[in-house]
Structure 1
Amino acid sequence: MTLEQIITNYGLVGLFLGAGIEGETIVLLGGTMVHQGLMPFWPAAAAAACGSFVADQLFFLLGRRFRDHPRVQRMQQRPAFARALRTFDKHPVAFVFAFRFLYGLRTVSPIAIGTTRLRTRTFLLLNAAAAALWGLLFVALGYWFGQAIEAAFGRIRDTAHLVLPGLAAAAVLGLVFHLVRRRYTR
Structure 2
Amino acid sequence: MAIEALVARYGLIAIFAGAGIEGEAVVITGGVLAQKGLLPIWGVAAAAAAGSCLIDQLWFWMARRYRDHRRVRAVMARPAFARAIRLLERYPTSFILAFRWIYGLRTVSPMAIGTSAIRSRTFVPLNIVSAAFWGPAIAWAGYAFGKALDPWLHDVKSVVLGALALGGGIALVLLLVRWHRAAVAG
TM-score scaled by length of structure 2: 0.82
1:77-116 deviations in Å (ceiling 9; x for gaps): 2211111100101101111111111111111110010001
Q: How far is 1:75 from its partner?
A: 2.4
Equivalence for 1:161? 162
Structural mapping, 1:32-111, within 5 Å:
32-111=32-111
Gaps of 5+ in 1: 179-186
Q: Secondary structure at the match of 2:104?
A: coil
Structure 1's 137 and 156: CA in aligned 2 closer, same or farther, altered over 3 A? farther
Give, as a single letter, the amino acid of the residue that structure 2 aligns with 1:81: F
1:163 counterpart letter in structure 2: L
Q: Flag the 1:7–1:97 CA change in 2: closer, same or farther, 3 A.
A: farther
Residue 154 of structure 2 aligns with an amino acid whose one-letter code is R
Q: After superposition, what is the alpha-carbon deviation per residue over 1:10-33, rounded to whole angstroms, capped at 9, x for unaligned?
A: 121111011111111110000001
Where 1:18 maps in the other structure, the secondary structure is helix
Contact 1:12/1:47 (8 A) holds in 2 = yes
SS of equivalent residue, structure 2 residue 117 = coil
* Aligned: 1:112 with 2:112: yes
CA distance in 2, matches of 1:160, 1:130: 31
Unaligned runs of 5+ in 2: 179-186
Deviation at 1:121, TM superposition (A): 1.5
C-alpha separation in 2, matches of 1:125 and 1:100: 15
1:21 aligned onto 2:10? no
Summarize the alignment of residues 138-157 of structure 1 with structure 2, pairs less than 5 Å apart.
138-150=138-150, 152-153=151-152, 155-157=154-156
CA RMSD of aligned residues (A): 2.6
Output the TM-score relative to the length of structure 1: 0.82
Identity %: 46
Mark the CA change 1:23 to 1:50 in structure 2 (over 3 Å): closer, same or farther: same
Q: CA deviation at 1:70?
A: 3.1
- Shift, 1:166, TM fit: 3.8
User: What SS does the aligned partner of 1:104 have?
Assistant: coil
Aligned partner of residue 100 in structure 2, secondary structure: helix
Q: Within the alignment, does 1:30 sit opposite 2:30 as a pair?
A: yes
Aligned partners of 1:114, 1:134: CA distance in 2, in Å?
20
Deviates more, 1:152-161 or 1:85-94: 152-161
- 5 Å-filtered alignment, 1:126-137, equals 126-137=126-137
